[in-house]
Structure 1
Amino acid sequence: MQTTDIAKKYSELFDELEHCAEIEQKQKIKAMNILMNEMDEEEFNYVFTTELYNKINKMNEEKKITMGNAFYLLKSIGYCKALKSLWIDDFKMSSLSKKFENMIVKEEKKVKEGKNEKLLTNLCECYILLNDRFSSGFLRICIPCLLKAALKKDESKETQKEVETALMTLNCIEHWGKEELELLNMNEIKEIIKYHQKCGNLTCLAYYCAWKFMIFGFGEDKSLESLIVNDLHFERKAARELDELAKRIDWKKINEEEEQLRRIDSKDLLALMGWLEVLKLYFGVCQLWSKEHVELINSIVQVFRAGKDYCREICDDCIDVLKIMTIFGTLKVDDLLKGGAVDVVLEEIKQPTMEDKMEYEILIIFMAISRRLIENKDYETDKAKRKEAKRKLFEMMEDEGLEDIITSLCETFDFLNNKYFGDLLSFNISDNFVNV
């Protein structure tokens, strides 16, 4: 890759670090962080190599950079990598990674009274943020340490940042086995969420990270379901977060191209994308109907409308959430109508051009609605209400001539099924939905 101005300037500042005093080093690292936030994935790969991490290790051994500044530099790199969802594994092969592994094991072996908890937390955060693969042995040490850091309740900005970093670090662990999940104490995660709902001590990013863990625990503990839906009111809280984030984001500055999204130093945008991912996870496992469905659906619809002309990736995620809600969730068709979900998919299907994937997602939503209107499920038991929902849908579609459009799309079913797999579009849509 040809060196860009951003990558070149970052490398120049990095080379200057070993000639600076501690305070000046920290100032240069802050300037480097600004440049790093503007990097795309290619620039990130170019700069953050095994050689760079080896150089940091050598500088530390030669006392040209303090361990405190090394942690600051490395956590900034790892945090940015995690925030931009980049897959870069150069750190794993470095001498610094081996050094940190030895230090983590050594510190963990110390008796409780002699253990340096702050050092261990810094080591664990750097190690997990910068790696993409970890052994179960290191996770057994790191997870309890990070949870302890995340449980801090001081509301100062410094503590907020520490809690956010700890929760973000935990989110970097992609593959959770049963043993690791047992280490992720759900009572502690519940305490983090409850305290935030009472005192507002978490950042937006930290809050969605905590919720992600709680919902992730569904697979092992079904008793969490009622707690999440009825006690902690996840859907209401998620709706508020989506509303606030959509208002704060400067949509006009967002470029539709994914590589440009990676350049944006917007925690709000990345938090919004994170919340939509959490919602996909939630509706894939939640089996309880909630009276807060409509409020949440409406918030998803408003995010879709806000980003429609500026960020296709966000719009695709919104449609994906609505699809998962309609297929797996216990919401009612009336919830979809009241929340505005049907309006959105009808608006999309009227577009003169539509990508195959979007067409496929929208057809799946129509098929799922069709099934809900003809099946006597627990959440759709009222025959009169189902009939009324059918009537409303038919009128909405008839007014715009949409029933003909949907029927005409039947010709694409086989093509879309072959392209995206599955049999969700396998039965006759016109028999079950259009001719209500």
Structure 2
Amino acid sequence: MATSVTNRFNELFSELEDCNEEEQKQKIEEMNGLMEEMDKEELKSVFTKELFNNILKMIEEEKLMMGNAILLLKHMGYCNMLLNMMCLSFFYSSLKRRFEKMVAEEDEKKEGKDEKLITDLSECILLFGGLTSMELSSIFVPCLLKVALKKEENEETQKEVEIALLAFSCIQLYCNIKRDLFLNEIKEIIQYHEKHHNLTRLAFQSVWQFLIILSFSTNYIVDVIMDEMNFVRETKRELEELTKCVDWKREKEEEIKGKGRKDELVLKRWLRIFEPFFAQCGLWNKECSGIIESIVQVFLVSRDFDSDIGKECIRLFEAAAENRVVKLDSLLKSGAIDAALEEIPKSTIKGKMTYYCLKFFIGISRRLKIKEIDEMEKAKRKTIKMEIFDKLEEEGYEDVIISFRGIFGFLSENFLKRLSLNISDYFVNT
């Protein structure tokens, strides 16, 4: 029976302290390759507090060279972020505390400050979701931006930039840095990419992830990303290209490997950052509807092959429906309502898809019941209400909802947001 990837990983780790620097590097490169084959559960089984504390012990006893330790930890953190994991074992480890202390000590040096070491340690901390202080964040940001602004066109630099931006997307937003300077540098990274296509898909997604989170704090940032940085155009293009790159027609049981797997994981990261965008968005125009159209296409292509992506798409429709700034006709004309209507009869009574579809239609129903004062808005609402009502009636929506009535309570107990037990809340009345 073949040795599992996790067993092989642990076996290689146990051999590191008996190797010279070059042998260690070779074993670590093999370990890094093994991690790319692991799923979330397998990674969690090897990313233990004991492992991190052992790495620190080996560094202190000079049995593991710092350069090799960073090579291993960066790739561990990279896999951690790509699979959207929460690595509490690192957060509570002695290694995290030691790395933070090393960053602070290095930054205090008047001469001979090692910025590369600060950058490497910053990336190791951030890629494991290591929440950090305002003081450390203000040290991290300039170093990470310096790497992210590199423009050399070679694979090594591209990887450095990707790691820096991935770490940058994780940083807390309480750093002492002038917003205008910060935005100018981020704009430069994006605008250079638009001309030269120098960033990987993951690096490009990471820049936007950080900006979307930052935009929650001020409408000024929202204006910049919408108007000056072409958020809608760029993200729509990325979704469409990623949807074409993923091998959807693979066997359902087959684990996707290599570049195809990475494209799928990057696509999932895009979908996760659209939820806060839809929930917090204070600006909406006709162009924004294009994002919903692209998400509908992702849903239609993926639904028979990846149920997790389908659920994420429906959650996005729900978030959009609950935001009064988002136009309901965008959800109708984009095909979002059609997609959910097709899916809900196929859902099982215990499925998350059922819950998300029901939440989506409750959101639409509530929006259509809001009273408008402006006569023109009243007329628009009446038209869109009739269109949605006709669509729901055509698809037999009311019968489906009635058939689910008995499980509203069950679904409410299993999810954070409770479903209404009042069946009329699910219906759209003319």
Unaligned runs of 5+ in 1: none
Contact 1:301/1:341, CA 8 A, preserved across alignment: yes
Q: How does 1:342-353 map to 2 (within 5 A)?
A: 342-351=337-346, 353=348
Task: Return closer, same or farther for 1:131/1:412 CA change in 2, 3 Å cut-off.
Answer: closer
User: How far apart, CA to CA, are the structure 2 residues paired with 1:191 and 1:9?
Assistant: 43
Which residue of structure 1 lines up, in the alignment, with residue 238 of structure 2? Answer: 241
Secondary structure in 2 matching 1:39: coil
Q: How does 1:16-415 map to 2 (within 5 A)?
A: 16-57=15-56, 59-60=58-59, 64-91=63-90, 96-111=95-110, 114-130=112-128, 132-173=130-171, 176=172, 178-179=174-175, 185-253=182-250, 266-328=261-323, 330-351=325-346, 353-355=348-350, 357-375=352-370, 381-406=376-401, 409=404
User: How far apart, CA to CA, are the structure 2 residues paired with 1:421 and 1:95?
Assistant: 33
Task: Return closer, same or farther for 1:431/1:267 CA change in 2, 3 Å cut-off.
Answer: closer
Task: Return closer, same or farther for 1:366/1:101 CA change in 2, 3 Å cut-off.
Answer: closer
What amino acid maps onto 2:348 in structure 1? Answer: T
What amino acid maps onto 1:68 in structure 2? Answer: G
- CA shift, 1:261, in A, is 8.9
User: How far apart, CA to CA, are the structure 1 residues paired with 2:327 and 2:375?
Assistant: 6
Secondary structure in 1 matching 2:76: helix
User: How far apart, CA to CA, are the structure 2 residues paired with 1:416 and 1:221?
Assistant: 36
User: How far apart, CA to CA, are the structure 1 residues paired with 2:14 and 2:265?
Assistant: 31
Contact 2:365/2:425, CA 8 A, preserved across alignment: no
User: How far apart, CA to CA, are the structure 2 residues paired with 1:115 and 1:379?
Assistant: 63
Deviates most, 198-207 or 95-104: 95-104
Q: Deviations over 1:180-200 (max 9, x none)?
A: 787893443333223322322
Percent of paired sites with the same residue: 44
What amino acid maps onto 1:128 in structure 2? Answer: L
Q: What TM-score does the superposition give when structure 2 sets the normalisation length?
A: 0.85
Contact 2:324/2:367, CA 8 A, preserved across alignment: no
Secondary structure in 1 matching 2:120: helix
Task: Return closer, same or farther for 1:381/1:194 CA change in 2, 3 Å cut-off.
Answer: farther
Secondary structure in 2 matching 1:350: helix
What amino acid maps onto 2:267 in structure 1? Answer: L
Q: Deviations over 1:7-54 (max 9, x none)?
A: 221223234434545444333322211112223444434434445445
Task: Return closer, same or farther for 1:429/1:68 CA change in 2, 3 Å cut-off.
Answer: same
Unaligned runs of 5+ in 2: none
Deviates most, 416-425 or 130-139: 416-425
Secondary structure in 2 matching 1:114: coil
User: How far apart, CA to CA, are the structure 1 residues paired with 2:143 and 2:225?
Assistant: 25
User: How far apart, CA to CA, are the structure 2 residues paired with 1:41 and 1:25?
Assistant: 25
Equivalent pairs, count? 428
Contact 2:28/2:72, CA 8 A, preserved across alignment: yes
- CA shift, 1:418, in A, is 6.0
User: How far apart, CA to CA, are the structure 1 residues paired with 2:58 and 2:392?
Assistant: 68
User: How far apart, CA to CA, are the structure 1 residues paired with 2:300 and 2:318?
Assistant: 17
Task: Return closer, same or farther for 1:294/1:172 CA change in 2, 3 Å cut-off.
Answer: closer
User: How far apart, CA to CA, are the structure 2 residues paired with 1:202 and 1:379?
Assistant: 47
What amino acid maps onto 1:83 in structure 2? Answer: L
User: How far apart, CA to CA, are the structure 1 residues paired with 2:224 and 2:389?
Assistant: 38
Q: Deviations over 1:389-416 (max 9, x none)?
A: 3333333333333333335555655665
Q: Higher relative contact order by CA 8 Å / sep ≥ 6: 1 or 2?
A: 1
Q: What TM-score does the superposition give when structure 1 sets the normalisation length?
A: 0.84
Contact 1:186/1:217, CA 8 A, preserved across alignment: no
Task: Return closer, same or farther for 1:18/1:377 CA change in 2, 3 Å cut-off.
Answer: farther
Task: Give me the CA root mean square deviation.
Answer: 3.6
User: How far apart, CA to CA, are the structure 1 residues paired with 2:83 and 2:67?
Assistant: 24
